[in-house]
Structure 1
Amino acid sequence: MPTWFLNLPTQFESLNLSSNQLRGEISYLNVRSSVDLSSNRFIGPLPSVFPTLQLLILSNNSFSGSLFELVCNSSSGDFLEVLYIDKNLISGDIPDCWNHWSYLFLLNLGSNNLTGKIPPSLWHLNLTMLNLRNNTMFGELPSTLQNSPDLVMFDLSENHFSGNVPAWIGDKLHLEILSLRSNNFDGHIPHKICDLQFLQNLDLAHNNISGVIPKCFNNLTAMATTNKTNNFVHAGYEYAASIFLNALLVLKGREDEYGSTLGLVTSMDLSANSLTGEIPKEIGNLVGLLSLNFSRNLLTGNIPDSISSMELMESLDLSMNRLNGEIPPSFSNLNFLNHFNVSYNNLTGQIPTSTQLQSFENLSYLGNHLCGPPLTKNCTSKGIPIDVANNGSSREGSKVNWLYVSIVLGFVMGFWGVVAPLFFIRSWRHAYYRKLDHVGRKLYVSWATMGM
């Protein structure tokens, strides 16, 4: 970007240069209200801004350095409402000087090189969105949080946060997107989460969470309805225009960004934890879910038949648990499934017949005792794998075989027990022949005597 453009004496009301290939450094933005420089190639430290600026979007560039100058050493936060600096090269700790940012309600610092803990002053902001995903931050979340009652999106995924999942999350009654994925959280899932009636996307995957799956999940109203009224997730207003959120979600094993359809997506991912117990049948009340992932836990018991009520389900992953019993025959009603995995459990019986379930590869069913298409293993008329049904007769046959084997072994050992010493030891062999000769002579004398 030419320096003369930024040094023009005229002050801009708004500046939007997003989605270009502009490059270079920017030291100062003489813009009164809003700036959008996203998706360019700008480098260097973050620019200073005019004190009345309300919206600053610098996403997807190569800005580097610290947040300190922008956050602490200027009056830029006095009126700023929206601050997006995600997908840059910002490093260091988040400074603890957010007290004068009283109007800020959208903060996105995701996908940088930030480290350290979340500063106390940041928790005191009344935010609608807080996105700190994909950094190297750590520490525990505070046990209480009074502010941000209107929080809609809370994303701390892909960091090193630890401790319990805080119960105060259940007090954020407007929360629609909660992602704590890929951290070191432990303890149980707090039942207060069940109070989040607007929650559409819950991602607690890849942590150390233990305990059981709460039965009260059936109270998550937004997941229990099939009527989606908004394509977008609304976050507030700026210049009388609506602001809608974007979010990165992991569905069907793939991470994608959702924006214009985010309001239509409902998902729950509790995979790769240490959850125990059975899958509660109440989970089947979440008929609006499009994606459900409970894989890589320690879940036991049968797959609840109630899951078949979730007829809009597109992705279901229950793999790598300790589930037993059959795949419920009613799963044939899941006509929208395009991702399905129950591999590496203790499931038995015949795979239900449906257009969808037979369309998946064998990998979806490996590590079980299942039979029927798409597997090559056939079933008996009772739905039992043929190799299992023949297991009893094969055992009986093995007993008969062992009988013959034992007879042969006895003969061989007896034979060689007598013959081998005679063959290899000369003194034994001579003694044996002399004994036979002596016995032969006696028999001959006895026979001759009897004949006379």
Structure 2
Amino acid sequence: MNCFDLRLDHNNFTGGLPNISPMAAIIDLSYNSFSGSIPHSWMNLKELGVLDLWSNGLSGELPSYFSNLKQLQTMNLGENEFNGTITILISPNFQVVILRENKFEGSIPPQLFNLSYLFHLDLAHMKLSGSLPHNVYNLTHMVTFHVDLYYPTTFNLFTKGQDYMYQVNPDRRTIDLSANSLFGELPLELFQLVQVQTLNLSHNNLTGTIPLLIGDMKLMESLDFSNNKFFGTQLQSFNASSYIGNPKLCGAPLNNCTMKEENPRTATPSTKNEDDDSIKESLNLGMGVGFAAGFWGICGSLFLIRKWRHACFRFFDRVGDNLYITLMVKLNSFRRN
């Protein structure tokens, strides 16, 4: 295909990815059904600045020649089946990197946090492991923000039970590393990115305390540290949903908890709750047995003994007659007055 700007998104194209002119600067094939791997011929796309392959059925490892695409600014490969590790395919001009919902594994390359122009990093819902890089975070646009040109990217995003259209915007600096297997403590360098507005580290195995430096991130609008293993206290500017799933994280907006852990070998078992539960169970059992005995004692006797049954019916008939007579007498007396 010979074109500078190739946009064939939101179609039903199938099969392998096509060969494309080396002059192409924008390739948007998102929301199709392409399959297979990225062609080797794409290594000649030296002018490529935008690559959007979101929501296809592409697979395989990322080509090593990606590291030679120096003009690449936006790379959206989300919602595919790419696998392997995220190798050093880093363009120095990256502004947007979206790899979410693939099958990548291994650690996060430290080079990703050394991109001066990056303002949107999304590596969510994959199989990444290891700790967060502790190198110097040279994400200039997340410290002193300034972006001149960028390619608008929009995709469907499901988060916190809601499905909505998400538009990548340089006015909303984002880091999303959620739903992986990351572990270890949070690097202090992360909290020097004071321009970040969305930070999602939920559903990992991160530990340690939440550094007080997070208070310097004054522009933060969306924070999600839920479902990790943090302990201590947290920033109170966000609601409980930002922190749930961390049993040892205490203080507002969460409920208080006890930080002191007992040795299970020497801990004295508490019998107070057990005694209370035992009393409640005995009381409920006694009430149930009493009700059943009373009910079947009366109804069963009436059912089995004919004399008792007839006597019961006569009794209720007399009571009904007396009530009727009393009611009519009172009513006639009221009318005469």
Please say whether Structure 1 and Structure 2 have the same fold, judged by a TM-score greater than 0.5: yes
Q: What's the CA shift string for 1:339-374, capped at 9, x where partnerless?
A: 9511111234321xxxxx5xxxxxxx5xxxx23xxx
CA 216–251 in structure 1, closer or farther in 2 if over 3 Å, else same? farther
1:162 aligns with 2:68: no
CA 137–395 in structure 1, closer or farther in 2 if over 3 Å, else same? same
CA 189–255 in structure 1, closer or farther in 2 if over 3 Å, else same? farther
Q: Of the candidates 147, 165, 179, which is equivalent to residue 256 of structure 1?
A: 165
Question: Aligned-pair RMSD on alpha carbons?
Answer: 2.9
SS in 2 for 1:395: coil
- Once the 2 structures are TM-superposed, how far is the Cα of residue 215 of structure 1 from its aligned partner? 1.9
Amino acid at match of 2:221: E
> Normalized against structure 1, the TM-score is what?
0.54
- Once the 2 structures are TM-superposed, how far is the Cα of residue 191 of structure 1 from its aligned partner? 1.1
- Once the 2 structures are TM-superposed, how far is the Cα of residue 208 of structure 1 from its aligned partner? 0.5
The structure with the larger Rg is 1
Show the counterpart of 2:328. none
**Contact 1:124–1:147 (Cα < 8 Å) also in 2:** no
Q: Of the candidates 197, 203, 225, which is equivalent to residue 290 of structure 1?
A: 197
1:212 aligns with 2:119: no
**Contact 1:252–1:315 (Cα < 8 Å) also in 2:** no
Q: Of the candidates 4, 8, 13, which is equivalent to residue 90 of structure 1?
A: 13
Runs (4+) of structure 1 exceeding 6 A deviation are: none
Amino acid at match of 2:120: N
Cα distance in 2 for partners of 1:142, 1:93 equals 15
Q: What does 1:19-418 align with in structure 2 at a 5 Å threshold? A: 71=1, 77=2, 80-95=3-18, 97-98=19-20, 101-126=21-46, 127-169=48-90, 172-216=91-135, 218-225=137-144, 227-228=145-146, 230=148, 233-234=149-150, 244-248=151-155, 250=157, 253=160, 254-258=163-167, 262-327=169-234, 331-332=235-236, 334=237, 340-351=241-252, 365=254, 370-371=255-256, 395=270
**Contact 2:22–2:44 (Cα < 8 Å) also in 1:** no
SS in 2 for 1:122: helix
**Contact 1:110–1:131 (Cα < 8 Å) also in 2:** yes
Cα distance in 2 for partners of 1:398, 1:294 equals 37
Cα distance in 1 for partners of 2:174, 2:156 equals 9
Q: What's the CA shift string for 1:140-187, capped at 9, x where partnerless?
A: 012343532111100100000000001122xx1111000000000001
Cα distance in 2 for partners of 1:263, 1:394 equals 56
Percent identity over the alignment is 32
Q: Highest relative contact order (Cα 8 Å, sep 6+), 1 or 2? A: 2
SS in 2 for 1:277: strand
CA 104–144 in structure 1, closer or farther in 2 if over 3 Å, else same? closer
Cα distance in 1 for partners of 2:38, 2:207 equals 37
Show the counterpart of 2:307. none
SS in 1 for 2:13: strand
CA 322–257 in structure 1, closer or farther in 2 if over 3 Å, else same? closer
**Contact 2:84–2:105 (Cα < 8 Å) also in 1:** yes
Cα distance in 2 for partners of 1:266, 1:162 equals 26
**Contact 1:316–1:339 (Cα < 8 Å) also in 2:** no
CA 348–128 in structure 1, closer or farther in 2 if over 3 Å, else same? closer
Amino acid at match of 1:346: P
- Once the 2 structures are TM-superposed, how far is the Cα of residue 325 of structure 1 from its aligned partner? 1.6
SS in 1 for 2:175: strand
> Normalized against structure 2, the TM-score is what?
0.71
SS in 1 for 2:108: coil
What are the ranges of 5 or more consecutive residues in structure 1 without an aligned counterpart?
Answer: 1-70, 72-76, 235-243, 352-356, 358-364, 372-382, 386-391, 403-452
Amino acid at match of 2:251: Q
Task: Count residues in correspondence.
Answer: 267
Amino acid at match of 2:62: L
